[in-house]
Amino acid sequence: MGNMKVHELSRGLWEHEPSLSLACNPLRTHNSNTLSSFHLKTFITPKPTPTKLASSDQQPHSPQVDMQAGAGGTRWSPTQEQIGILEMMYRGGMRTPNAQQIEQITMQLGKYGKIEGKNVFYWFQNHKARERQKQKRNSLVLNSPPITTITLNTRVPPKPLEDGPYKRKCRSWSFEDIEEESGSSSSFKEEETRTLVLFPLHPEGR
Amino acid sequence: MGNMKVHELSRGLWEHEPSLSLACNPLRTHNSNTLSSFHLKTFITPKPTPTKLASSDQQPHSPQVDMQAGAGGTRWSPTQEQIGILEMMYRGGMRTPNAQQIEQITMQLGKYGKIEGKNVFYWFQNHKARERQKQKRNSLVLNSPPITTITLNTRVPPKPLEDGPYKRKCRSWSFEDIEEESGSSSSFKEEETRTLVLFPLHPEGR
DNA sequence: GCAAATTAATGATTTATTCAAG
DNA sequence: CTTGAATAAATCATTAATTTGC
């Protein structure tokens, strides 16, 4: 049953040039083809890797490798330097770095602590979004239009229909997958291996 | 400021079973531990590579071997068989396949035409969203709630005090681990080269 | 002082919306 | 008009910071 020809899939090639360019990209006019469009997608699968013994000792302190924060496996916890550089880039105009740029950045920031490309991607996404929120809030405060909202409704609101497709209430339907929860008490296991798959996005700007 | 002994190592393990499952699964309650949440992320960069030899290998129906899709810059154009299978899976309950599943599906569908994992991912995303829209529209039409909403606003609404409503839900101390570095290989494509990067998602349910 | 309880930040996912190819 | 692709918005879940009782 398990014949997976997982062969290709792994063709990610990166020809990253050493020169890092924190180039700001022009804001896309959103109607034209800017070629630095990109996206980021990941998916991961826990690999079985049965033969993986817990041999990978977690030496409490590896001399050289400074696994900053993200050591064991929770979320990335950026260092001050990393944040600083990222903010600098942001201020420089970078908003949605493309793959190459992310690669570069990741590599650069890797000098200050463990980091992955996705962290960089997410950072920009989040930072951008949150700056926007902040801006919006501020502008609202400034205007503070004296408005009074009166809402009379003469009937019940539209009723979120059966599934609740509207308004995102909860994932009533998302389903997860297969594996049953068998691993109960053996809380100690070694790290699992993951399978990463990347997908190319279309080269052209959207 | 930085001193954290954050290291416990990860564990979390699971076993996945290779059987093809188009299994539908129970809906998760959204407050509890769901396992195998996943995500998908890709990113790609158009390489300059001016030499474009559009070899147009985009015949949508290669008998068996389909050189992985990445070909020309067009979008995936699913064949009838592919659509059929996908819909079958959808009806079967699949909504957001995880990495393994996507991989399997992609492999399977690859027999009927060029396809990549991201296409599968997007298909499910879109199909789900559009089914939802359809549902919504239908239900709205059915009810056609005669509501009269009058809204005069004389002042700004309460303004959500902070921007982020935070919630405290559960406390699950899950660990995980990571680390994956994409190697680089250089191969000249007749077209553009893409940069692929994949990222792992966290294995444990959130 | 410290460790649990709270609160605030923010990393990571999911869903909704938008853009544009066909 | 349909729908693949991509982005933005919303939300979830953890971690860092702060408070509180002892």
CATH, residue A107: 1.10.10
Q: Which residues pair with B46 in a beta bridge?
A: B194
Residue B184 has pLDDT above 90, yes or no: no
Q: What is the mean pLDDT of chain B?
A: 51
> Is A51 part of any domain?
no
Asked if strand D comes closer than 7 Å to B142 Cβ, the answer is: no
Instruction: Please report which confidence band the pLDDT of residue B168 belongs to, taking 50, 70 and 90 as the band edges.
Output: very low
Mean pLDDT, rounded, for B15-19: 31
> Is B44 part of any domain?
no
Q: How long a stretch of residues is chain A?
A: 206
Asked if strand D comes closer than 7 Å to B172 Cβ, the answer is: yes
Contacts of A101 (CB under 8 A, 6+ apart): A21, A22, A23, A94, B45
Dist CA A197 CA B1 (whole Å): 37
Dist CA A45 CA B81 (whole Å): 26
Give DSSP secondary structure letters for chain A: -------TT--------SS---PPPPPP-SSS--TT----B-EEEEE--TT--TTS---S--SS----S--SSS-----HHHHHHHHHHHHHT--S--HHHHHHHHHHHGGGS---HHHHHHHHHHHHHHHHHHHHHHHHHHH------EEE-SS-----TTT-TTTT---SS-B--S------S----PPPEEEEE-----SS--
> Is A125 part of any domain?
yes
Contact A5 B107 (CB under 8 A): yes
* Nucleotides of strand D within 7 Å of the protein's CB atoms: 3-17
Mean pLDDT, rounded, for B76-89: 88
* Structural domain harbouring A106: 80-142
Contacts of A68 (CB under 8 A, 6+ apart): A77, A79, A112, A113, A114, B2
> Is A103 part of any domain?
yes
Ranges A141-150, B61-70, B90-99, most confident = B90-99
What is the CB neighbour count within 10 angstroms for residue A120? Answer: 26
Judge whether A198 and A12 are in contact, CB under 8 Å.
yes
Asked if strand D comes closer than 7 Å to A129 Cβ, the answer is: yes
Strand A150-152 and strand B150-152: the pairing is antiparallel
Tell me the three state secondary structure of residue B175.
Answer: coil
Q: Between these two residues, B119 and B99, which has the higher pLDDT value?
A: B119
Residue B65 has pLDDT above 90, yes or no: no
pLDDT for the residue numbered A115? 93
Q: How many domains does chain B have?
A: 1
Q: Residue A167: exposed, middle, or buried by beta-carbon count in 10 A (0-12, 13-18, 19+)?
A: exposed
Tell me the three state secondary structure of residue B46.
Answer: strand
Mean pLDDT, rounded, for B141-167: 41
Distance from CA of B66 to the nearest CA of A (A): 11
Ranges A24-33, B26-35, B137-146, B148-157, most confident = B137-146
Contact B1 A173 (CB under 8 A): no
Dist CA A96 CA B73 (whole Å): 21
> Is A126 part of any domain?
yes
Q: Residue B43: exposed, middle, or buried by beta-carbon count in 10 A (0-12, 13-18, 19+)?
A: buried
For strand D, which residues in window 5-64 of chain A come within 7 Å by CB?
A: 37-39
Q: Between these two residues, A72 and B16, which has the higher pLDDT value?
A: A72
Judge whether B140 and B133 are in contact, CB under 8 Å.
no
Tokens standing for residue B85: 């299978």
Residue B134 has pLDDT above 50, yes or no: yes
Residue B88 has pLDDT above 80, yes or no: yes
Instruction: Please report which confidence band the pLDDT of residue B144 belongs to, taking 50, 70 and 90 as the band edges.
Output: low
> Is A54 part of any domain?
no
Instruction: Give Cα B57 to chain centroid, integer Å.
Output: 26
pLDDT tens digit sequence for A104-158: 899 999 999 999 999 999 999 999 999 998 888 777 666 655 544 444 443 433 3
pLDDT for the residue numbered B98? 82
- Mutate: best of A14, A58, A141, partner B, most B CBs <10 A: A14
Secondary structure letter of residue B111 according to DSSP: G
Mean pLDDT, rounded, for B18-42: 35
Give the closest of A36, A43, A161 to B38, CB-based.
Answer: A43
Which nucleotide is closest to the Cα of B39 by its C1'?
Answer: C13
Residue B43 has pLDDT above 60, yes or no: no
Picking from A30, A196, A202, the residue whose alpha carbon sits closest to that of residue B45 is A202
Judge whether A22 and A113 are in contact, CB under 8 Å.
no
Q: Which mean pLDDT values do the consecutive 10-residue runs of chain A (206 residues) have?
A: 32 33 38 35 35 33 38 79 91 87 91 92 93 82 55 39 29 27 31 32 31
Give the closest of B34, B75, B198 to A42, CB-based.
Answer: B198
Residue B162 has pLDDT above 80, yes or no: no
CA dihedral B150, B152, B155, B159 (to 10 degrees): 20
Q: Between these two residues, B95 and A49, which has the higher pLDDT value?
A: B95
Mean pLDDT, rounded, for B103-116: 88
pLDDT for the residue numbered B9? 27
Instruction: Please report which confidence band the pLDDT of residue B72 belongs to, taking 50, 70 and 90 as the band edges.
Output: low
Using a CB-CB cut-off of 8 Å, the residues of chain A touching B64 are none
> Is B156 part of any domain?
no
> Is A68 part of any domain?
no
Residue B164 has pLDDT above 60, yes or no: no
Judge whether A99 and B46 are in contact, CB under 8 Å.
no
Residue B165 has pLDDT above 60, yes or no: no
Mean pLDDT, rounded, for B115-142: 82
